[in-house]
Amino acid sequence: MQLPKSRRRQKLREKKCQYPGCGKIFFGIHISKYCPEHRQDRYRIRKRTKPEDVNIKNQTFKHNYTEVVTMVMNCALEGCDHQFEVKIYPRQYIYPKYCPEHRNEYKRIRHLQLIGREDLIEQMKLEGESFEIEHSVNADSGSDSGEAMEDVA
């Protein structure tokens, strides 16, 4: 089978510019949306998101070490007294803020609920940590499921 050596030329159609407020009629191929004026870079709408603050979930530790050093740090979560080891690398300044048991957002919230610090959960929400969790279920509904398990067994 012989294939054609030249590509088929695309048909120019009468199109309407999709740029907000323009609406000019121009000739373009099937995929073109904008008139030649609005195809220029200065008219392109760029959506940029703000970078997330690294100090929300991590901590900045400024140092001038030239070798890898192991350091013991305390967990930054209220009511947690765990200590954990962190390797400090040269020219790296961002390290974990929480112990391995509380690095997960869900586990941090559960810990704060268990110690009764709902105000800190609200403060975490205001600082920008994104999470969704339902408030703890009443103790009565939890005991009902336990009784059902005893009946089944």
Task: Say what the pLDDT of residue 47 is.
Answer: 82
Lowest mean pLDDT among 15-24, 101-110, 118-127: 118-127
Summarised one tens digit per residue, pLDDT across range 52-87 is 888 888 999 999 999 999 999 999 998 999 999 999
**pLDDT at residue 133 tops 70:** no
**pLDDT at residue 98 tops 70:** yes
- Is residue 93 a part of any domain in this protein? yes
Residue 131 — very low, low, confident or very high, per pLDDT cuts 50/70/90? Answer: very low
- Is residue 3 a part of any domain in this protein? no
Summarised one tens digit per residue, pLDDT across range 1-15 is 788 888 888 899 999
Task: Say what the pLDDT of residue 128 is.
Answer: 58
Question: What is the three-state SS of the chain?
Answer: CCCCCCCCCCCCEEEECCCCCCCCEEEECCCCCCCCHHHCHHHCCCCCCCCCCCCCCEEECCCCCCCCEEEEEECCCCCCCCEEEEEECCCCCEEECCCHHHCCHHHHHHHHHHCCCHHHHHHHHHHCCCCCCCCCCCHHHHHHHHHHHHHHC
74 and 99 share a domain?
yes
| Structural domain count of the chain | 2
Tell me the residue range of the domain where 78 lies: 58-135
101 and 35 share a domain?
no
- Is residue 97 a part of any domain in this protein? yes
